Structures are given as structure tokens and as C-alpha cells.
Structure 1
Amino acid sequence: MERRPNARDGVVLPKLGLSMAGVLAGGIVLIVAAPAPLAVEVGTWLTVGGALGLLSVVLMFWQVGRGLIVSMPLWLGYVGFLASRVGAPGGIGTWLVAAGVLVLVSAVLIKVNQPIGAGISVGAWLVYVGLALRALPVSPEIHRWWLAAVAVGAMVSLGTLARVLFSRSSSRGLLRRLGRAGRETDGLASSVDVLRTASARGLRKQMAVLRPSLAELSRWQRRLVRTAELGVKIARVGLVWLWSSTQHHTITFGGPRQGKTQLLMNWILDAVGAVITTSTKQDVLRDTATARAAKGPVWVFDPSGVITAGSEVDALVESLGGTWVRFDPLQGCELAAVAMDRAADLIDGIGRNKSDGQGERWDGFAKQTLQALLHAAALGGYSMYDVQQWVAHPSKEAASTVLYQLEAAGTTAAGMMQEAKQFFTNNPNTQSSISTTIMPALGWLSVPSAAKAAAPGGQQFDVQELLATNGTVYLIGAEDKKTSPLVTALTANIARQAKAIAARSPRERLDPSLTMVLDEAALICLIPLDQWSGDFGSRGITMHIAAQSRAQMRQRFGDAATGALLTNCATKILFGGSADGEDLQYWSTVAGEREEPAVTKDRSTGAQSISTRKSTVLTPAQVGQLRTGQVLIITNGMPPAITNARMTYKRLDVRLAKFRRRPAVRWLTTLTETVADATGGWLLSQAGWLCDQVIAADRAATVRARAVVRKATAPFARRAAGVLAWLDANDPARELIARVRLIGAMRNARAALAARTERERVEREEVQQ
């Protein structure tokens, strides 16, 4: 069927083409030269038939079988329209056109999927034949079989569709669909895959879940809601943008100067609700603070002193009315549960390698001791310096102070009192090991800027205000590890309070969601990401995590925690430039496999055989050789995609903001505003009388317009008043009810009178007997 024309076809097809060309020429001559309308119409039909004939010849020269299949519905449609024009009986023309359409649909279905398409096509043709037998004038013996043909055709089509549904939902069908994914695109995602899995259309379907406050909107009102309120825009794949919803987390890996921070800043700018962002760079604050200040207040927490006084960023924060906040780790530790969480956050902020089993054991002892000391310090009004002294010098005086405060707290601190007593009474070696483990978590006290940022008093951070005002918190940290415990503790405190607030919110989720953009998460923000990423999505807290490599995350959090984190993050984004062979092999494995044709040629006979073989979609070398700005995106439910990252500096709003900040542009804007104000004031002073006249004329026109409207609506108002007066006087509803009641009463009276007459008649007959 799909062969090229042979020698016989090479003789027949040219003759057929010449004859069709003659028919086409004859039709054109009739249209141009013949004066009669009938001749013009005949010429038109001949011209169309000749053109179809030439097209059919060309198609069959391409491939005989496909040319015939494509030409057949065209000729059936042509003959059908011609039969309808000449008035063929029984509507034969319409049936021929329908047959042409059915031939075309059958060919497409069989081409897409041969077994399924053949089953549906056979059923459709049986239904067509049955309906044709019923409508066309045929013999009565054949005519009575139309219903059976339609029934059999419907059963064949429905059976095929049922087989498709069952096969798609079975385990075997799902496995085959996974194997076919990306077969036509070399194993990578296409625009259709993105449209079906991770497009803006999919986010709008989940609007009631993602934003409970928008659940009452109608279907058309939901179309007006910006997609940025439901998720974040990742990148464009083909013609479709790939999105990640607010209940799914993302994780990004990329080395220095690959564009990782530029990608993250998009999500800070697009966030609708409150934002928490951590970074070791001032670029994030410099490039996003102005846009975020338009949505809510700006808070800055800089324990490392990265932002120097009098710098450009410092001036920017002051111009935006930003607040330099403090965070006292003892805040809230009067509660035993808060002290336990705060101690765990400070110890985790050290960043010790989780694969070290012995170190993890001492971390547990350190958390038990530190939580008791924090609880005692908060109860007694002590400071973090006192806690540091208790850890560094566990003297009898320190033990007496701590145990006194815990004992005074009562039964709520009984367990912590035992932990503190155990620490102070331990042998010197164990005591020294616990102190050595705790001291790095308090090392930020030796940094003046960090000690000032953690001092009591001042502007302490309020999470409720952050969520209510859609504010932004910039947590700036350095890579020296000294202040990372403090940044980790503040980030964890905000996240825990936000989770508690979400539990009290409608449907137990924040609306709008809280966005946590955690850049360099393995350096300055060592919160338990593997645990929180599994729960925060359903609470309306979205995390966008970034690190330099998967190996870095494994070193900081351990293999098990990193594996759980990668599983919990629905969208994984990888920049190029990695040189770690294990990481490259991991991403190559996650990208999956594809089927590719394998051609085998016999040298002796020249025969070829084509088969398929499995190969990786991306080799480790290809993953590592991604160009600067290119990313590999792996998201749930679709094949991987390679595209260009969405850089912040390419955004139109960012470019316009930078253009407006130029000195020349600001000077010109200020000059234009000054000239406009001066010109407006001069015009008002010089042409005030004209302004008064314009205002007076406007008022007069308004009065006249109201009079015209009243005059135009007066007849309708009078008629409406008359109708209301008639209804008030006559009250047809009341009269109708009265009539109904009267009719019912008369019916009952007649029935009673008839019963009485019948009773008297019966009594008279009894008396006479």
C-alpha cells in the first residue's frame, strides 16, 4: 500500500494525468467562452473534477496506497455534491459526502492505532450501512436488516472503546504508556506533554484546592484570575509554559554563575502572598525589594553584617521603609515545646555531616542539654550569653541557677530538670564532649552583628503580621557557618508558626500561600527540609530550594534525607556544569530511557533489518555539558525537558525598573513632573475663569440631561404607578383566592344537600314499606 509507482503505474498514471488535464482545460474554456449559465456551471464542475484528478495523480506518484486513500474521500465528496446538485433521489449525494468523511476518519484512526482504529471504523461503517439501508429505496428484504446492522456496529464500536479503557487502566496498559512516552521526541517532553501535565490549564482545574477563597467564583470568573496566584512559572517548553502549583515544591541544583539565583528571583517577584528568602548574596535584595515593597512591608535580617552601613543596598532598604528585625532565640522558650524546637534548630544549623553516626549521637545529647538551658534562661530572664557561659563553664553555680529555675517551673519542666542535672553531674569527659557539640551552635554570639541582631528588645519578628500584610523577609547569611544556626532557627520559627496559623485557617491551608525561597539551603538554612517538604505543600507553604549540587545536599543532610527531599519535590531543575560522576549518573538514570531504531545490514546480500533498542535519554556527559542558561527539568507525570532558564534580568518589568533608576531618567522624570506642576498651576491661575465656566456648563448640561431623562421616563412611571394603584385596589390574587374558596364551599353545600335529599328519600321508602 505504501509502495512507490511501478512500471505499469508509470504508464497508466501519465495517461490519467493527461486526461485530467484535458478535462480541466475543457472546464476552463466552458467557463470563459460559453455564454449560457448551464455551460458555465458544467465548466465549473469539470474544472473541479480535473483539479481533483491531477491532485490524485500527484498523490499516487508519491505513494500509490496513501494517494488512493487520500483521494477517495475527495472524490466521494465531489460526486456527492454533484449528485445533490442534479437532484439525485433519496438524498444519495448526502450519503456519498458522509461516506467520504467516514473514509478519511477511518484512515486517520487506523494510522494512529491500527487495532483500535480498525475496530472503531468497522463499527462506524456498520452503523452507516444500517442507516443507509433504512433511508435509501432498497428491496424490503434488505431494508429490514438496517436495525441489526446498526446494533452490531454500535456493539463493535462500544466493545472496542471498552477494551481501550480497560487496557489503559490495567497495569500492562500503564506500562506500555510509560514506554511510549516521548518516543516521537527522543524521550523528551513535548509541548503536548506539558499542556497535559504541567500547564496553566491544569492549575486552574485545582483552583478550589489551591486557593479556597476563590472556590466560590464561577467558571468564567476563574478565567480572570492570574495564573501566578496558583503557582510559579518555571520555563517555556516549545510553545507552552511549564508551571508548578503552590502545593508542589521545587529544588534547583546549579554551580556558581550558572543562573540559579536569577531563576529563583522570578518566584520572589511573582509571589502573591508573603515571602521568606534566604541568600548569601545582596543581589536578591537589590533586585526584588522594590517590587516586593509594592505588595507589602519589607523586613531584613542580616546577622552576618553582609550589608554595610551607607551602601547602596542599605540606602535602598531605608528608602523603601524596610525594617531591620531582631530575633532573640530565647523568645517563646518559656514553653517547653518551643525550647525543644529551638534547641534542635540551633544544633541542626551547625551543618554537621549526617552520615557520621557518632556525631549524630552527640547531637542528640546536645539537643537535650541545650533545650533545658534555653528553657531555664527564658524562665529566669537570662540572656543567650548566660546560656553560652553555662555550656562553656558548667560550674556548681551554673547548675544551681539552672536547676532552681527548672524546679520552680513545676511538673512541666521535670523532664528538662533531669536532663540538666545529668549534664552538670556527668563525668568531665562526657560533659566536655556535650559542651564541644553545643558551642558551635552558639558561635554567632562572638560576631557583633549577629549578637546585635539576636539581642532582646527592638523590632522582634511577628509571623502573623508577615502573613496578614503579604510582607517579605530577607534572611542574609554568610558562608562562614558562624551565623547559619541563627538563620536556621529564625527560618524554622517562621515556618512552624506559619504551619500553626494554617491549621487554624479554612481547609487548614494559608490563602494566599507562603513562599519560601531558600537559596544556598545547604549553607545557611539547615532546617529539616526532608520532613517539612512532605507536609508543607498541603498547608499552603511552598518551598523553592536551591543548592550547588546533590552531593552537597547529601553531605549536609545525609543520603536518606536527600533522597526523601528529592522525592517530595515534584519539580527538579538542574543547571549544567557539574563534574561529579555519581551525580551525573543519577540524573541520567532519572531522565529515563527511550527506544531508538537499530538498523542491521547484511554485507553479502545488502538486506536490511530494522529493530528497536533501549538507550538512555541523556548520557551523563550530555547532562554535564548543558550550556550556561540551559536547564534539565524533571517533573512528575511527564518526560524530562531541556529548555532555557527564565532569567530575571530578561523580564520586561525588571528592565523597565532598572531603566527608571538611571540618573538621567530620574532627572528627566523629576524635571517633567516639575514642569507639569508649574504649567498646571500657571494655567489654573491664568485661565481660572474658563475653568469656572466649564464647570458651570457641565453642571447645566447635567441638569438638562436629568430633565430629559425624567421627561422621557415620565409616561412609563405614570403607567407603572397606575398598575400599582390598580393592584392595590383590586388585589387580583386575593380575589382569586376568594373565588376558589367560594367554589369549594358551594361544592361542599351541593354535596351536603344531595346527601340530605337521598337520606329523606330512603326514609320515605322505609315508611311506605
Structure 2
Amino acid sequence: MFTVVRAGGTLGSGLTGNGWDGPPFALSTVQRLVSEGPTGLWPGAPAAALYGGMLGLLVLVAVPLALVARMLLGRAGRTKGLAGRRELAAMCPKGIEARARDLRPSLQGRDRLHPDETGNLLGDLSPNGPELRSSYEDVELDLMAPRAGKSTGIAVPRVLRAQGAVLLTSNKSDVYAVTRAERERAGTVWTFDPQGIAHTPRAMWWNLLGECHTIEGARRMAGHFVASVNDDTAKKDFWISAAQNTLTALFLAAARSGTPLHQLLGWLADPADRTPVDLLRDAGLVAMAEQLQGTVRGAVETRDGIYETARQTVSCLLDPEILAWVSPDPALPEFRPDLHVLGEDTLYLLSKDGGGSAAGVIAGLADATMRAGVVAAERMGGRLDPPLTAVLDEAANVCRISDLPDLYSHFGSRGINVVTLLQSYRQGARVWGEVGMDALWSAATIKLLGAGLDDADFVQKISTLVGQHDVRTPTISRGREGTSRSYSYRQEAVLPPDRIRALPKGTALLLATGVKPALIRLRPWYKEPGAAAISAAAKAETAAITERAARRLLPGTEAAGVPGLPGPRGVPGVPLSKPVP
């Protein structure tokens, strides 16, 4: 420190024209500096110049030392064998910006780009950054236990930062409440909430039969309803397959003839009704009509079994509230997937899981939107610009698209950024089967594995994928001739299974195609700039949801803590048993 002070004072004295002669490098100089101050060592020189020289030289010395110390600490804190900044250069800011300019023609010619225009934020490289982003041709699969950061660290940031149209599926209202106000600034917000997850009033409708004018479209729609009740879409017994064939024919007959959905449900209730067979013939679909007629004329026990299975798959449409969301309503705007993917609007698809859920409808609308994105991309020359962001939260519960594993890589090449959020690998295998889940895992170019993965076999496989590294072990030998030291090497897992299972909340293991695994820190939305305004909007939206829930569940009552809920005319409001939070 004395050397820096002496050299800095001499520098300040010389620059102000008071000579470059410094005091002697001795203990007496230190004593004079303490007793007389810098002006006693450099007479005639301004004190400000002396202090400025000392400070400037201190900065010149301290900054490089701090950078070196940070680099050394970063290396010490990083797990050996995992990817670092150099291996992940293509996902760092400069690399991802260059990739975005190649993928998005609309960015050409612009000098500066906002980081969110260059790729999807994944998180910060552990322990000291930089931030990492996936490109707009990557598709993502995230596996994390409940309350491990899927919503706060992935779903919400992905929706808030999206550049184009957004599609979100969920069985909760948390992501909707946080992001709705911000997405309203970008474009129209469409909320498809047939079961009252967010208790939003119906302000739209979607023509379910509009997707069924072709055999392929009708078969896909039937498949979504079948998948909603079939625990393993990779395994279809006779009844499931026959029910899907029957539903395909009925959807096609109704779509081609303009028959409303409630009449289609009537056909299902009466297997002997020949109306759909005649309608298929009138539409020129003779083969489909013959197949349906064969089912109708078959053995009564078989026919009734097929129709009963089909009725179970579409049982959610028996609820008039759900049926209204997918039936034409001239008083409300129609949601058009083909128009949605071309703008910056947001579509929230909310449904409960379990019995009576609208999962088949949710999967059908999500699939229709993403396929509309594929068509739009083909018209644009192969890729959507800006890209479509599809966040399939709770995909295994409310959005069972049976051939999603096959579509995954295709979506990435079309500018449709899909991220599927699951609680575990086994949950996905239960829906798509082991083969289907393996295909989904292989097709995902980005995989994030977060906290709480308790499947021992799966965690062991991940540890094997991460690999091993060499550990040097010293051996000291002592003898008559002195002491000698030798080294041996052994292989050790980079991340043992127990460490993968014990990943802290807010961190994730990143597996990217062609890159060594890396540990990253997720960036929750509430720790980002502007979080205060988003949080305030989220609280307001949550309060509105609570109020709407009270109106729906307790009409004509006065909810304690919820203003604006008067009782019937002439009858005072009746308080709830406990306040609404």
C-alpha cells in the first residue's frame, strides 16, 4: 500500500509541474506522511492532485487484481467436469445474438438488440454468470418437482419476455395472475377458462368443429379426447381405438354438415341413429360412412361398448358451461388460431385435471394453435418471425397431445418455441409411454433438471450422462533415502446421484445438445427489474379472481373482505364463514 501511495503522490506532483522526485523509500517517510500529510512529502503540490494520483493508481492496480480474483474464485466454485463460459459461448450474449440475426430476418440491419429479442432466457451460469439463453430454434423439456421454481423461474419469465404470440396451458391461475396485465400491453389477451380456474367470464368462443373438416383434423381432435382419459396414449386397447374411429367419423359428419355439437352428443346417445352415416355419404365420404355403418350394425354388445367408451371421452361436453366455450356465439368474438400466431396476442388455456376436466378441449385448442403456427411459418418461408412461444405447463395433466414427441423437433425448425413442464420423467412416461417419453427427451434440444427429482433410476442415468472426471490422489512415501511423493488418478462422477437429487431450489442442471452439462441459477420474475409493478398488478388480479370466485360460488352474499357483493334486493348480505384471503 505504501508503494502505491508513494508512486501515486509522485505521479500527482509530476502532472501538476512540481517535479517527479519522490520521497525516499524509508520508514521515516511513512512517519512524515502520517504526521504532515501528503503536502509535507511533496511541497508545493496541490493536495487534490496528490490524492487524485494516489486514487488513480490504486484503481489501476486494484481492478486487475479484482478481476483475477473473481476469475479464480469462479473456477474454484464451479464443479469440475461441467461446462464453463468457453464451452457455452454459443449461449452467451454475443453468441446468441449472432444466432438470432441468422434466424430472424427482421433483426437484420439493427445495431443494437434487446436481450429478449435474441433468445429465451434460461438463467445465469453458476456461480458467477454470464446469463445463458436458448435460440429460437430450440425446444425445451423441463423436469422439476412441485414448488421447485417451474412457475416463478420458467413459465412466468418466458411469458413476460415473449416477442411474439403466446400460448400457455395450466391447471392453476398463478401464472395467469402474474402475467395478464403485462401481456395486455403487447396485444389482446384471450382467456379460455371453461372450468373457472381464474373465474373469468366467457368473453370468447372457439369453433371446435372448425378443426374437423378433414379426416386428419377430425382424427386428431378425437385423439385429444381419447388421450384425456387414457393414461398411456402409447397403448390403445380395442375399445379406445374403436372409440377414436367412431368419434372421428362423428366429428367429420358434424363439421361437414354444419351440425352443432349438442346434436353430435345426441348421436352418441343413440347408436342406432343413421343421421351421421347419411351426412357422410352426402359429403362424398363413402368409406368413412361405411366404416361407421359397420360399427352401428355390429353386435349390440360391441357397438354399445364402443359408443359408451366414446361417450366417456367427451363427457366434459355434457357440461353446458364447457360446451358454450366451443360452440358459435354471435355475441362474442371468435378465437382464430390462424390469426393468433401472426400477432403478439396471448392465449391462456386453463383447465382442471382429474375427472370431468376439459383436458381434451385444452389439448385440441393448443394443438390447433401450434399447427396454425406451422402453416404460417411455411407461408413465411419456413420460420415464424417473431416466434410463437408455447408454454405447456402441467402438460401431462391438461394438455395430452398424443404425438407431441414426434412434433417436437418439427416445431423448433418452424420458429415455435415449445417448453414442456413436467414434475418427473415418470409422469411423462405415464402419458406417452416409455418409447414416447424417450422420443420427447431425445427431441428436446434444451433440458433443465431442477430440484426434487426422486426417481433413483432416472437420477442415476443423468449422473452417467454428465460423466466422470479424473481425481488426482497424492501418495507420500518415507524411507531411509528421504521422502518421495507420487500421484495416482481415479475416475469419479462429476455429479453423483445424491447431489443431483439435492439440487437447491432455484438451480437446474442444463443439458444442451452438443454441449457439456452445466449448472445454472434460474432467475425468478420477482427478482428482476420492474418486479414491483408486476407484483402490484398480480395482487390486483388475484383480488379480482377472489372476488369473481365469491360471486360464482356464493351468489347473493356479502363476502367478508370482498367489496361489491350485495345480497338480493331487500335482503342484507350474509357473511361467509371465514374471510376470503
Equivalent residue number for residue 421 of structure 1 = 293
Equivalent residue number for residue 81 of structure 1 = none
1:286-685 mapped onto 2 (5 Å cutoff): 286-308=177-199, 324-354=203-233, 356=235, 359-395=236-272, 398=273, 400-410=274-284, 413-457=285-329, 458-481=332-355, 482-505=357-380, 507-527=381-401, 528-600=403-475, 607-659=484-536
By percentage of residues, which structure has more helix? 1
1:604–1:585: structure 2 CA closer, same or farther, 3 Å change rule?
Answer: farther
Tell me the amino acid that sits aligned with residue 292 of structure 1.
Answer: R
Q: Which has the larger displacement, 431-440 or 279-288? A: 431-440
Calculate the TM-score normalised by the size of structure 2.
Answer: 0.74
Distance 1:214 1:621 in 2: 44
Which of 284, 289, 301 does residue 175 from structure 2 map onto?
284
List per-residue Cα deviations over 1:383-437 (Å, max 9, x = no partner).
Answer: 3233333334311xx1x21111011112xx1221122112112223432342243
SS of the residue corresponding to residue 376 of structure 2 reads: helix
SS of the residue corresponding to residue 468 of structure 1 reads: coil
1:121-270 mapped onto 2 (5 Å cutoff): 185-194=79-88, 196-215=89-108, 217=109, 221=110, 223-237=111-125, 238-263=128-153, 264-270=155-161
Distance 2:508 2:233 in 1: 29
CA contact (8 A) 1:248 1:570 kept: yes
Distance 1:513 1:185 in 2: 35
* 1:184 CA drift (Å): 8.6
Distance 2:254 2:99 in 1: 47
List per-residue Cα deviations over 1:215-257 (Å, max 9, x = no partner).
Answer: 4x2xxx3x41223123111111123111101110111111211
List per-residue Cα deviations over 1:140-177 (Å, max 9, x = no partner).
Answer: xxxxxxxxxxxxxxxxxxxxxxxxxxxxxxxxxxxxxx
* 1:364 CA drift (Å): 3.0
Distance 1:183 1:392 in 2: 66
Tell me the amino acid that sits aligned with residue 408 of structure 2.
Answer: S
SS of the residue corresponding to residue 256 of structure 1 reads: coil
CA contact (8 A) 1:203 1:227 kept: no
Q: Which has the larger displacement, 643-652 or 288-297? A: 643-652
CA contact (8 A) 1:186 1:617 kept: yes
Tell me the amino acid that sits aligned with residue 348 of structure 2.
Answer: Y
List per-residue Cα deviations over 1:555-582 (Å, max 9, x = no partner).
Answer: 1111111111111111111121222212
CA contact (8 A) 1:235 1:243 kept: yes
CA contact (8 A) 1:304 1:447 kept: no
List per-residue Cα deviations over 1:289-343 (Å, max 9, x = no partner).
Answer: 111111111000012221226xxxx7xxxxxxxx732223212423333223322
Distance 1:520 1:500 in 2: 26
List per-residue Cα deviations over 1:633-672 (Å, max 9, x = no partner).
Answer: 2212322222321111212212233357889xxxxxxxxx
Tell me the amino acid that sits aligned with residue 207 of structure 1.
Answer: A
1:209–1:621: structure 2 CA closer, same or farther, 3 Å change rule?
Answer: same
CA contact (8 A) 1:182 1:189 kept: no
1:354–1:348: structure 2 CA closer, same or farther, 3 Å change rule?
Answer: closer
* 1:602 CA drift (Å): 5.6
Distance 1:353 1:446 in 2: 24
Larger Rg: 1
SS of the residue corresponding to residue 196 of structure 2 reads: coil
List per-residue Cα deviations over 1:65-84 (Å, max 9, x = no partner).
Answer: xxxxxxxxxxxxxxxxxxxx
SS of the residue corresponding to residue 191 of structure 1 reads: coil
Distance 1:502 1:565 in 2: 22
Distance 1:588 1:469 in 2: 42
CA contact (8 A) 1:346 1:485 kept: yes
Equivalent residue number for residue 698 of structure 1 = none
Distance 1:259 1:364 in 2: 38
Distance 2:424 2:241 in 1: 27
Equivalent residue number for residue 137 of structure 1 = none
Distance 2:175 2:258 in 1: 37
* 1:345 CA drift (Å): 2.6
Over the residues paired in the alignment, what is the CA RMSD in angstroms? 2.9
Q: Which has the larger displacement, 368-377 or 446-455? A: 446-455
SS of the residue corresponding to residue 349 of structure 2 reads: strand
Tell me the amino acid that sits aligned with residue 231 of structure 2.
Answer: R
Equivalent residue number for residue 70 of structure 2 = none
Tell me the amino acid that sits aligned with residue 207 of structure 2.
Answer: D
Tell me the amino acid that sits aligned with residue 313 of structure 2.
Answer: A
List per-residue Cα deviations over 1:1-58 (Å, max 9, x = no partner).
Answer: xxxxxxxxxxxxxxxxxxxxxxxxxxx9xx9xxxxxxxx99x99xx9xxxxxxxxxxx
Equivalent residue number for residue 114 of structure 1 = none
* 1:526 CA drift (Å): 0.9
List per-residue Cα deviations over 1:264-309 (Å, max 9, x = no partner).
Answer: 1101000010000011111111111111111111000012221226
Distance 2:213 2:169 in 1: 28
CA contact (8 A) 1:520 1:546 kept: yes
Distance 1:631 1:583 in 2: 15
CA contact (8 A) 2:338 2:369 kept: no
Percent identity of equivalent pairs = 27
Q: Highest relative contact order (Cα 8 Å, sep 6+), 1 or 2?
A: 2
List per-residue Cα deviations over 1:728-767 (Å, max 9, x = no partner).
Answer: xxxxxxxxxxxxxxxxxxxxxxxxxxxxxxxxxxxxxxxx
Tell me the amino acid that sits aligned with residue 303 of structure 1.
Answer: P
1:111-122 mapped onto 2 (5 Å cutoff): none
Q: Which has the larger displacement, 627-636 or 509-518? A: 627-636
1:732-743 mapped onto 2 (5 Å cutoff): none
SS of the residue corresponding to residue 515 of structure 1 reads: strand
Distance 1:602 1:367 in 2: 75
1:592–1:376: structure 2 CA closer, same or farther, 3 Å change rule?
Answer: same
* 1:518 CA drift (Å): 0.8
Tell me the amino acid that sits aligned with residue 453 of structure 1.
Answer: W
Distance 1:577 1:184 in 2: 21
Tell me the amino acid that sits aligned with residue 224 of structure 1.
Answer: R
* 1:608 CA drift (Å): 4.3
CA contact (8 A) 2:508 2:522 kept: yes
Distance 2:539 2:222 in 1: 47
CA contact (8 A) 1:330 1:378 kept: yes
Structure 2: which 5+ runs fail to align?
A: 1-6, 11-18, 26-74, 541-581
1:588–1:351: structure 2 CA closer, same or farther, 3 Å change rule?
Answer: farther
CA contact (8 A) 2:136 2:415 kept: yes
SS of the residue corresponding to residue 511 of structure 2 reads: strand
Tell me the amino acid that sits aligned with residue 274 of structure 1.
Answer: A
CA contact (8 A) 1:259 1:629 kept: yes
Distance 1:406 1:227 in 2: 53
Equivalent residue number for residue 674 of structure 1 = none
Distance 2:462 2:146 in 1: 19
List per-residue Cα deviations over 1:439-489 (Å, max 9, x = no partner).
Answer: 332021133431221222243211233233310000011122521001001
